[in-house]
Structures are given as C-alpha cells and as structure tokens.
Structure 1
Amino acid sequence: MSLRPLFVTQVYEASLAEGRGWAEFNEQLIDVVRMMAEEDAAGRRWCRDNAYRGYTSYASLNDLPQRFPEFAELKRHLDRHAVAYAKALNFDLARKPRLDNLWVNILKPGGGHTSHIHPHAFLSGTVYIDIPDGASSLKLEDPRLPFMMARPSVTEDATEAERPFVYLTPRPGTILMWESWLRHEVPTNQAKSDRISISFNYA
C-alpha cells in the first residue's frame, strides 16, 4: 500500500539573522518599536480598550515603511521572502505580492493573542526581533479541524504534519509566513520580559 499526501499546508521559515549587520539592525528595530509604544497614544488607547496586554500599532499606524527608514529596510527584506514563498507555492500571480500592512507587537508577560485568521490578504506572517526565554511559540491549527467530526486523536509518535496543532518556536530574526486563511494564535507569554514581533499581510 502507499499513502498519498494531499492538500498540504506549506509554512515558510527563514531567518534574517544570517545576514550581515543583523544584530545592529535588530537593535534599531527594537529601539523604534519601544519609541512607538511610548509615543503612539492612539495605539495605547486601543490596547487599553481591547484588553491587549502590551502594545500593538495594528489599529493606529498603517504607514510604518514610509514613517521610519528601519521599516522601509525591513519591507525590502520581507518583499523578497514573500516572492520566494509565492513561487514555492506555485501561485499564478499577475503581479508580485504587495505589502498591504505591517504592525508591531509588544506582548507583555501574561499576555496572549487568541486564535484568528487574516481576511483580505493571501500571505501573512511575522518577523521576531526579541524572543526571551519562555516566550510564546506560534500555535498553528490544522485547517481541517472543524470538519473532523469523529476523528480519533493521534498517537504520541505522530509526525508534525499529522497533529491538530503545531507549535513553532521562533528566534530573533526568524521569519514565519503562512497562507492568510490558516488559523493561528499566540499562547500566553510565560517569559519574564516582553516578546516583540512585527506582523504583516501581503495582498
């Protein structure tokens, strides 16, 4: 007999930390993110009103590559990876993937981000810039889960591809990308310091 893997979900992983000048660039990004968290009153108000434990620019600033040179440089890196990912997925595109939005996340200890998808985009992802010991992994959900009905649980030695949930543990510089329909979440941050990341959508 043989098994034929069908309808495979491909998650893209790469690292900016392998490039020259990453450490300095990473520190610059952290400094800009910290400055935003102090000066973005609208973002802080949104976080307070929505019980977000930390800071995100998701609902307040949508022009970061135009506002800060550090984000313009980050966009150039992400554009290259988005093109590589779309090519690996064999997408038939009329144009290159276009960065639709980009936002920063500071998740304080005890904070998390519940399960969600990213509508109105086809590629989404996160680049991680400060991941202390004990920081949350990215939790990905098998998209077939709502349709599994009476499917049994899997054994302990089941492969990653057969599990209903997969936890990816990033490091500073890690880029993770997935198709925007893939449900994901950030479990509670168990670290003693902030978990800092930058998320994005391509349309």
Structure 2
Amino acid sequence: MKAKTSILLAQTCYQMGLYNEGVQALSETQTKAGKSLLLALYLCLNKKIEFNLCAKELIANHWYTQISIAAIDHANIVYNQALDNGLNGNTFDSIVNQRINKHEFSDALLQAVLIHLSDGTFQSKCQQLLVNGSQTSGNVLDTPRKPFIELKKLLIKKIDAYNRSCSINTDKDFKVNWGKNMYILPGWAIVMEAGGNLKSHNHELGWLSGTFYLQMPEREATSEEGAIEFSHQGPKYPQGNSAFDRRVIRPEVRDLNIFSSSLFHRTVPFQSKTQRICIAFDVQKNEKLWIDYN
C-alpha cells in the first residue's frame, strides 16, 4: 500500500513538473513501476549519473515498462550512449502501416461506425493534449453493435499478424494468449476539426498501440497536414543540442498503423474543413495474469 501511495504521489509531481519532489516520493521504492517512474524523473532533471545507475538496475532485472523504454530511447540520443531498451532493436522498426481493403471491412461497416460516432451514442471526455477536437470516453470496441464487433475482430486479426511478422516488441503466441485473456483491447475515437492536433505523448499503459483511420481531411500530396509523426523525443525530457529523427506517416482512409506504445507521437495540424476521424487503441497486458504466468 505504501509503495502504491508513493507512486501516485510521484505521478502527480511528474505531471505538475515537480520532479525533485517526485524523486523524494520514490526514495524507498523497490518496485518495477516505481523504479521506471524514478528513471523518467531523473531524465527530466537531466541527472545523467543517477539516470544511468537506475537504468542499469532496471535492465539487469529486465524491469521494462513503456515509461522506462521511452526514457532509455530518449537518453541514448541526448547522452550519446547505447543502453539496452529491451526491444532487441530500434523502436522505430515497430511502426507498421497497412491499408485495410473493403473485403476485410466493408464501406457499409465503416460508414456505420462514423454514423454511431456522430449520433450521440458516445460521451466525450477531457483530453488536455487534444486541440480543436474531442475524444470518446469508455471503450468503443466493447460497443455491442455489429460495426464495432466486426472492427474489434479485424483489429485482433491484424494485431496477431503483426506479432507473427515483426521482430520488435512482439508476442509470437499472441493469439493463444489473447484466448487466455492475457490481453485487453481498449479503444477510443478521436474527432478533430480544422486546426486540430494531438500533442506529443506516448501510451504508458499500453504494450502495442495503433490507429484505424475512418475519415481524413484533404491535403496536398506533399503536405504533412493531418499526418502522424513519431519520435524518440519525450516532451518533458531535456533535448540539449541533440537532433531527434522522426518518422512521418500521411494516413489515408482505411489505413491501420500499429507501433510500440513507448514511442512518442503527435499529429500535425490541418486546415481542411473535413474532420479527421480515427479509432485509436492499446493492446494492454493483463499484468496480474502475466505475473501469475511467469
């Protein structure tokens, strides 16, 4: 109980920019979650020595979380080092984008999802990172209506294929483990208006994340308006004089991308009057079952 209280306090400090206070709150922590957050706080404070000592402890115990993976990726660039991020490769290599054809998910189903998103079925929630847009609350993928049932089936199928074909951050037994309830799949809709964008962030509670695009604003062929941009650069972390690479995907309607939840990403603002509408999702591990399994 004390460890959980310390982590909650440190998380609050982290969000408020009170990084030294966050470190103090975690002074006695010996848990995977606590040490991962402590690592991020050390990086926020640009304390390289403390960061590396904490990182090496996490690596030795194989205590990787999305927070620690992201912090290590960022620090490796800023500090010009090569600590193991636990993924056996560059996190950029986890990004896969594909087109979903009409045989896999029909136009009728796609339009039905759009209609349900606009008919008042779903309530919106506060999303501080979202500009000129709205995000649904709850899990849209658990909606007991055919379009969402079929969409969830499609996503599970594509996530399984992703795990079988990729080598970065994957579970080759995903289908079997999904059947054992080792994973959950929360999803939400994001609707953006002209000028809309989502600020840089990552999905700390996820394992794999992704987006399925239902409607996209018009843009010039070479324009990045409405695109999704990936980077190892964390918005709270020091940049120094380092140049961070980025990967940009200019999605079209029916595109599906999947990537490691640790990767920071943002959307590029657009000026078209056509709304940008997508379903975002996380593949989350049922941590209690994984602990029992291991």
TM-score range normalised by the length of the shorter chain: 0.7 to 0.9
CA gap of 1:51–1:63, structure 2 versus 1, over 3 A, is closer
- Counterpart Cα distance in 1 of 2:135 and 2:104: 28
Is the partner of 2:251 in helix, strand or coil? coil
Q: TM-score, structure 1 length as denominator?
A: 0.76
Is the partner of 2:186 in helix, strand or coil? strand
Q: Which residue of 2 aligns with 1:156?
A: none
1:100-139, aligned counterparts within 5 Å?
100-134=185-219, 135-139=225-229
Q: Which residue of 2 aligns with 1:175?
A: 256
1:74 maps to which of 128, 151, 169: 151
Letter in 2 for 1:201: D
Letter in 1 for 2:94: Q
User: Is this contact kept in 2: 1:107–1:189, CA < 8 A?
Assistant: no
Matched, 1:28 2:112: yes
- Counterpart Cα distance in 1 of 2:265 and 2:129: 19
Is the partner of 2:256 in helix, strand or coil? strand
CA gap of 1:190–1:67, structure 2 versus 1, over 3 A, is same
**Percent of residue pairs identical:** 19
How far 1:69 sits from its partner (Å)? 2.2
Whose strand proportion is higher, 1 or 2? Answer: 1
Matched, 1:7 2:89: yes
Aligned length: 181
Cα deviations by residue, 1:138-186 (Å, 9 ceiling, x for unpaired)? 11114699798655x6xxxxxxxxx711210111110001010011001
Bigger radius of gyration: 2
Q: TM-score, structure 2 length as denominator?
A: 0.54
Matched, 1:184 2:261: no
User: Is this contact kept in 2: 1:117–1:183, CA < 8 A?
Assistant: yes
Q: Which residue of 2 aligns with 1:159?
A: none
Aligned-pair Cα RMSD in Å: 2.9
Letter in 2 for 1:190: Q
Cα deviations by residue, 1:92-112 (Å, 9 ceiling, x for unpaired)? 457137343100011011111
- The structure whose RCO (Cα within 8 Å, separation 6+) is larger is 1
CA gap of 1:83–1:43, structure 2 versus 1, over 3 A, is same
Unmatched 5+ residue regions in structure 2? Answer: 1-87, 220-224, 285-294
How far 1:7 sits from its partner (Å)? 2.1
1:88 maps to which of 165, 172, 181: 165
- Counterpart Cα distance in 1 of 2:129 and 2:228: 21
